[in-house]
Structure 1
Amino acid sequence: MSQPRITLSKATVDVALELQRLLVERRRAGLIGDTLLSLQHPPTFTVGKRKTLQNLLATPDVLDKLGVEVHVADRGGDITFHGPRQAILYPILSLKDMKLGARKYVEGLEDTMIDTASLYGVRAQGRFKTRTGVWVEDRKLGAIGVRISSGSITSHGLAFNIDPDLNFFTHIVPCGISDKEVTSLKKETQITLPDEHVVTEQLIESFATAFKLEKRSIDLDDLQ
């Protein structure tokens, strides 16, 4: 199975949400195949569809000073941070065509991050019943928040902390979990990291392996 990929640099959440909406509609109609968005956001706090804004600790004045916007997204999960040096993958897949259930899909996203971390000697784990995402002991390395439309088409996805400014996470209760830390690949590894784009490519390779997909990059114009 071949999966085209779209790479965006520092796309705002509004742009990413609209692009996902369009791609989901086209995937549902069978006009495109499974597609992966790979991008970074400018500093942003996003809240899931449950709108748990009580876990946003920063006042409007602090948000202005930080230069951070707050967006409510139509995904599962709680509040999290997106920003530079964090890899974000938004898969637009038909789980029906892939014969995958929601749980197996989330486990595949976990495996994507676990396998990438292992390249740098970092032992990460997932499959926790009471906490989502991927962890290094009690420190969260990667977040997962997904949406499945019409019981089959996915959007949103995962955020993998390569080397973001972790201070941003002190202004929220990350994923609604108050007694755990957030960490990054750079903080956990003893190996000097390559350029973040190299790590992102490795993450995409791990994703393709987890879901048995072949990769090819495309431009947005190819989807017109």
Structure 2
Amino acid sequence: MNKKIHLQDIGTKDYKSTWEYQEELFKSIVDVKIQNRRDETHLETPNYFLFVEHPHVYTLGKSGDMSNLLLSEKQLEAKGATFYKINRGGDITYHGPGQIVGYPILDLENFFTDIHKYLRFLEEAIILTLAEYNIIGVRSEGETGVWIDVGTPFARKICAMGVRASRWVTMHGFALNVNADLGYFDNIIPCGIKGKAVTSMHVELGQEVNEHEVKEKILNHFAVLFEAQFF
């Protein structure tokens, strides 16, 4: 089992180009798995982890409802934002500057074959990272992602998640609001959940947060949880 993960921080990149790149990496892993099965070989499958920041974009998952986007095409254009229907789970979300987006493209057969456990580990990596800033992140039953003050009238989401998996290979991932402009969330019903607010580390702490430092902390926790090594 290959527990090494190739880390790539690709900076600011258009959503569509990044999605296509994810698909390429995803296919390269699946192709090795198909070859192994066909030829009864034991070639190692690679694992990848992408960090990226997207220009303003709204994405809608497979089970998402278009009515959760509250903007017309012209209004999207005026806001300098794009929109894509994509092949991950979950409903609608926003990506933009000041948000750390992580896309683990892993062969889970190198780690464990349990999608539920995979999602919980993604959440845990974020929860442990937030704890280092004295932000108490928690899970909300039946709602993937990381929240604050669940069970109170002030419940708010700080990290959205949506993944796709096929042949135990994952893609898509998480989006943690660090210094993001939360005004862009006003144009959607985030994750299709009415009446729930969103927040960011910046808002919770009352100051701008070092994004490079946050990424380092996420990777440290991810490596421990998945017993993995980044290179």
Say yes or no: TM over 0.5: yes
In 2, the alpha carbon distance for the partners of 1:40 and 1:32 equals 26
Amino acid at match of 2:101: I
Stretches of structure 2 that go unaligned for 5 or more consecutive residues are: 33-43, 150-154
Stretches of structure 1 that go unaligned for 5 or more consecutive residues are: 217-224
In 2, the alpha carbon distance for the partners of 1:124 and 1:34 equals 27
* 1:54 paired to 2:67: yes
Match for residue 163 of structure 2? Answer: 146
Q: What is the alpha-carbon root mean square deviation over aligned residues?
A: 1.5
- Percent of paired sites with the same residue: 34
1:174-196 CA-partner distances (Å, limit 9, x unpaired): 00011110000111126x55422
Correspondence list, 1:114-153, <5 A? 114-126=127-139, 128-137=140-149, 138-150=155-167, 152-153=168-169
Amino acid at match of 1:155: M
* 1:67 paired to 2:80: yes
Match for residue 24 of structure 1? Answer: 26
TM-score normalised over the length of structure 2: 0.87
* 1:168 paired to 2:168: no
Residues 32, 97 of structure 1: CA spacing in aligned structure 2 closer, same or farther, 3 A cutoff? Answer: closer
1:168 counterpart SS class: helix
- Give the counterpart of 1:86 among 99, 119, 138: 99
User: After TM superposition, what 4+ stretches of structure 1 lie above 6 angstroms from structure 2?
Assistant: none
In 2, the alpha carbon distance for the partners of 1:116 and 1:93 equals 21
Match for residue 155 of structure 1? Answer: 171
Match for residue 223 of structure 2? Answer: 208
Report how far residue 132 of structure 1 moved: 1.7
1:31-58 CA-partner distances (Å, limit 9, x unpaired): 7511101111100000001242110001
Q: Is the 8 A contact 2:45 2:107 kept in 1?
A: no
1:133 counterpart SS class: strand
Report how far residue 103 of structure 1 moved: 0.3
Report how far residue 139 of structure 1 moved: 0.6
Amino acid at match of 1:7: D
Structure of larger gyration radius: 2
Report how far residue 12 of structure 1 moved: 1.1
Report how far residue 163 of structure 1 moved: 1.1
Amino acid at match of 1:18: E
TM-score normalised over the length of structure 1: 0.90
Amino acid at match of 1:53: M
Report how far residue 203 of structure 1 moved: 1.8
Q: Is the 8 A contact 2:179 2:209 kept in 1?
A: no
1:87-133 CA-partner distances (Å, limit 9, x unpaired): 0110111112212300000001100110111110000001x333221
Amino acid at match of 1:141: I
Match for residue 35 of structure 2? Answer: none
In 1, the alpha carbon distance for the partners of 2:93 and 2:184 equals 10
- Give the counterpart of 2:11 among 9, 12, 22: 9
Give the aligned length.
213
1:208 counterpart SS class: helix
Match for residue 205 of structure 2? Answer: 189
